[in-house]
Structure 1
Amino acid sequence: MNTVIAILIIVTGSSSMKSGDKTGVWLEEFAVPYLKFRQEGFKVTVATIHGGNVPIDPSSLENAKPEWKDAMEALKNAQKLSTVDTSKYQAVYMPGGHGAMFDL
């Protein structure tokens, strides 16, 4: 029996720091692993504390690559973490960015 490995990626939902500066997930830290996990055939779910659209740190967009388009699409509708059955996942990955300091 071929079991598909499922990976839960938990990202920040925070879009600003206490200083008021914009933040979010650091795109490269999300996109590169997300695409690699998908390339390897893993099932990938993206979640935040509140679900919905994931903010991307604007500074990380400066080095965005066209091949990250699918990863950026995955950030548009994250699951609400409390609705995710975590027992169905073999791994959890939490990418960085300053936003993670405020809600993860």
Structure 2
Amino acid sequence: MIDGCNRWQLMYWIVYPLSKAGMAAVFLISILTVWNNFLLPLIFTRSPDSQMLTVVLSMFVGQYEVAWEDMAAAAVVTMLPPFLIALFFQRFLIRGMTLGAVK
């Protein structure tokens, strides 16, 4: 083993810190993919109580008019959670990329 570490210490001190950036990227991409999903919730949800925010945003477009003010406010509220999650995980992504390059 490396530097007298057993297998668990090797995983904890070397492999896990180097893989944090990859795990954060996979988590962030999967969260954003689910959050931005539009077509499947539009097809499978019929009741307004169970619709996702992306489907509700499309309801602001009417046949003859568009409620731009309401749509803009709902879009800002819809963008806040992914923005905050990405802002939180940015620290892990940057640290993980520089950690692997320095060693």
> TM-score scaled to structure 1, two decimals?
0.23
Structure with larger Rg: 2
What TM-score, normalized to structure 2? 0.23
More strand by share: 1
